[in-house]
Amino acid sequence: MSKLWGGRFTKKTDQLVEEYTASIMFDKELAEEDIQGSLAHVTMLGKQGILPAADVEAIKDGLHRVLQRIKRNDLEFSVADEDIHMNIEKTLIDDVGPVGGKLHTGRSRNDQVATDMHLYLRKRVVEFVDLLHKLREALVSQAKANLDTIVPGYTHLQRAQPILFAHHLMAYVSMFGRDIERLQDSYKRVNTLPLGAGALAGTTFPIDRHFVASQLKFDRVYENSLDAVSDRDFILEFLSHASIVMMHLSRLSEELILWSSTEFRFVELDDAFCTGSSIMPQKKNPDVPELVRGKTGRVYGNLVGLLTVLKSLPLAYNKDMQEDKEGMFDTVRTLQGALQLFAPMIATMKVNKDRMRQAVNQDFSNATDIADFLVGKGLPFRQAHEVIGKTVLYCIQQGKYLLDLTLDEFKQFSSLFDDRIYDVLQPENVVNARDVYGGTAAKQVAEAIGRAEGELAETAAWVAEYAERSR
């Protein structure tokens, strides 16, 4: 059969042009969404009396058979048929005869492909909310198990103040919570129907776009036909959100890599998530977080790539926009792989509490509390800051830590010191002194965990509801 659009042409398409312009190699991933949209479209054509009922039933039966062939991997796609839309339509016509050519009444590939991508990303948004939910569950579980574990907190990768390890983990719970909120908010823009916009100006047929929207469980339809076929904001938004998720994963990855090193020895990753060396038998390499850290740049690249494709692009559809899919598919696979691995990797991570406590006891991260102690005695903070700076310098010169100093040694820097300084400097007291909302005190962290568990329940309910709506 000749090209479905070939009536105006007198020459066969050059083979190199066919290969260069075809998208079937990657947009075949939209096959099920394409048929889903076509079934709703042809149902509407029947409802509106645009096609007779017999034709509608024949086309629907044929589409279901094509779908089954695709699921069985029993359909060979052709570059000559360019894209997933033409491949499916050609297969349908081969199956049901010329009546299959009526399926395309009242629509264009321009609004058809946009619909496919909305359907595709709608499922992915719910899937990624669920995967992030599972990662937050793993982090909360580890936090609950480490409410008594104290670790150095860092700024500039220098030890700053003692904190609960649970508090550190809950920071990532907050980060990934914002990621979930962004994805949930984007759902309403993803869940907007472009079908019915035609090539760019709508159609002369008396279609019912809102009926199609209800069939496909879209909440609304595009208000403007030009916008409907040229909008790729919803993909950009997904790629942007995915980039932020990967940035958060890369930060956690870097810390897992550091914490699992011999120099830190704060945690040990389960063997299932590490690999060895082909030459050094003693090695246990944190390959999963390393690769996630590396793949972050790949996801950023997909975002910048699509932004560049769309830059200065005139309305409405242009062939440039075929470049919107490969980066989207790649980002979906990359983020999916990372999140599927991260939750179980965190859940099985062993925490070396003794090593963390040893690190806290062998640093000066409790120095700020001495300054606060002196301020409580009436010394201005800037003077207290200078006193503690000199005290720390003395400790370094003497090879001691603050808790090693005698009271006489403290008093040579300020007469305001008394025996209570030793209680002030205890790591547990340093941590629990930060008893403010959002602070690292055990009471505050426990309450934060309780709030997070409430959020987890809400997210689980959202996923259950929207997974059903997105089928």
Among candidate residues 3, 225, 196, 42, the one with its CA nearest the CA of residue 107: 196
Cα-based distances in Å from 181 to 36, 130, 331, 392, 394: 28, 12, 19, 44, 49
352 with 266: CB under 8 angstroms?
A: yes
3-class state of residue 434 by DSSP? coil
**What is the C-alpha to C-alpha distance for residues 67 and 75, in angstroms, rounded to an integer?**
9
Among candidate residues 48, 203, 47, the one with its CA nearest the CA of residue 112: 203
Cα-based distances in Å from 327 to 166, 299, 300, 301: 36, 8, 10, 8
**What is the C-alpha to C-alpha distance for residues 446 and 451, in angstroms, rounded to an integer?**
9
**What is the C-alpha to C-alpha distance for residues 300 and 459, in angstroms, rounded to an integer?**
26
**What is the C-alpha to C-alpha distance for residues 289 and 113, in angstroms, rounded to an integer?**
35
SS3 labels along 225-246: HHHHHHCCHHHHHHHHHHHHHH
Among candidate residues 200, 223, 205, the one with its CA nearest the CA of residue 47: 205
80 with 2: CB under 8 angstroms?
A: no
Kindly list the catalytic residues.
156, 277
Beta-strand relationship, 350-351 and 267-268:
antiparallel
